Structure 1
Amino acid sequence: MAKKKAKKKVAKKKATKKKATKKKATKKKATKKKATKKATKKKAKKKKAKKKK
């Protein structure tokens, strides 16, 4: 039983590590999204400026 429990703990640790890397990946995606949002905002501002003319 003790050995089985130990194996489960190792498996859990590996799983959490995978989750951590996934979180890092999603963070990168989030920053990319923010960057694109900023770009679209700038584009929108340019469009508004053109409309004013």
Structure 2
Amino acid sequence: MGRGDKKTKKGKISAASYGKKRSHKKRKPAPVVKKDDAQKG
């Protein structure tokens, strides 16, 4: 249970891999800009 253990978060970080224990942060979708608001400025 440490850096060599691929099933733990610390092991995933050292192995540079992802999975259930170390998932990627969900990206927020880009804010939708209305055409009317963008052209007024």
TM-score (norm 2): 0.34
**Which structure dedicates a bigger proportion of its chain to helix?**
1
Point out the structure with max Rg over C-alpha: 1
Which protein has greater RCO, CA pairs closer than 8 Å, 6+ apart?
2
